[in-house]
């Protein structure tokens, strides 16, 4: 039976040339992140009712670091309702000093023009938190967060939200340290497929929802309603709720969110 609320996928990689009907067929609300400036223009030209296209600078992509221009990023911010993914990656072959410079520049811009922002922090969790302490970004989303308990508590104190996928729900590492009010769902499609075979396309967050049913002691609709209320609270903190697509506003209303 189809639920009256769509699944919420807060971090997925989607080719900007995808057909609109293929996105509609997902029957989900998805944040489609980008990795480098070359993707921004085609992403921002799209008008998909249930897909929020983000502008991103992936720390592991050389072109993203080489082509970062603060003025161009500020201009893109004015045309987008989401940022991502940006961040740090201690395992990437790209130069860490340049990663830091680009991440700091992007965070500074988001602090000036508040937007929801989804953040990559692989093998750089401590430094990511340090950067968030220096740049007062409202309600950042830590995607596939793997920090320890102490760092997780600090992230919560900084106002972070956490988008979790099937890997975290099956082998929890930080879940017990995160308040239920700060949880969101993601697939990180296509990268999480090797950990969660159900997540074979964007929007397939069933593995996470089933795990949260057990943890929270509510049914699937109750889980989904809570996740949408969390999403609405995050948007409200940033002052972006009214700029969301109609499908998002409709889902928030159905979830009973009053922001």
Which domains are delineated in the chain?
A: 8-254 (3.20.20.140)
Residue 259 has pLDDT above 80, yes or no: no
User: For residue range 36-63, what is the model confidence (pLDDT) as tens digits?
Assistant: 999 999 999 999 999 999 999 999 999 9
Which residue pairs from 74-79 have beta carbons closer than 8 angstroms and sit at least 24 positions apart in sequence? 74/109, 74/112, 74/113, 76/37, 76/40, 76/44, 77/109, 77/110, 77/113, 77/115, 78/113, 79/44
Average pLDDT of span 5-18: 98
Residue 192 pLDDT greater than 90, yes or no: no
- Rounded-to-5 percentages of helix, strand, coil across the chain: 45, 15, 40
Provide the pLDDT confidence category of residue 158 given band limits of 50, 70 and 90: very high
Phi, psi of 153 (to 5 degrees): -60, -40
Give the helix ranges, DSSP H, for 14-123: 20-24, 40-44, 62-66, 70-77, 96-112
The residue ranking higher by pLDDT, 233 or 246, is 233
The pLDDT of residue 173 is 87
Whole-model pTM over 0.85: yes
Q: What is the Cα–Cα distance from 62 to 160, expressed in whole angstroms?
A: 27
Q: Find out whether 56 and 85 touch, Cβ atoms under 8 Å.
A: yes
């Amino acid at each position: 039976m189809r639920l009256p609320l769509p699944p919420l996928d807060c971090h997925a990689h989607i080719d900007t040339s995808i057909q609109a009907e293929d996105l509609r067929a997902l029957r989900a609300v998805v944040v489609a992140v980008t990795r480098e400036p070359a993707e921004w223009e085609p992403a921002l030209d799209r008008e998909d009712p249930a897909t929020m296209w983000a502008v991103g600078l992936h720390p592991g992509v050389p072109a993203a670091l080489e082509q970062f221009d603060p003025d161009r990023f500020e201009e893109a911010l004015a045309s987008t309702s989401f940022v991502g993914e940006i961040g740090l990656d201690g395992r990437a072959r790209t130069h860490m000093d340049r990663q830091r410079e680009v991440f700091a520049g992007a965070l500074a811009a988001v602090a000036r023009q508040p937007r929801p922002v989804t953040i990559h922090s692989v093998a750089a969790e401590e430094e990511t938190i340090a950067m968030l302490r220096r740049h007062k970004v409202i309600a950042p989303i830590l995607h596939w967060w793997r920090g320890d308990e102490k760092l997780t508590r600090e992230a919560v104190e900084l106002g972070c939200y956490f988008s979790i996928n099937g890997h975290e729900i099956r082998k929890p590492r930080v879940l017990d340290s995160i308040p239920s009010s700060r949880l969101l769902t993601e697939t990180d499609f296509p990268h999480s497929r090797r950990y969660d075979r159900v997540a074979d396309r964007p929007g397939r967050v069933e593995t996470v929802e089933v795990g949260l049913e057990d943890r929270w002691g509510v049914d699937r609709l109750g889980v989904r309603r809570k996740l949408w209320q969390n999403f609405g609270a995050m948007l409200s903190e940033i002052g972006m709720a009214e700029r969301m697509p109609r499908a998002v506003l409709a889902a928030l209303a159905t979830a009973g969110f009053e922001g």
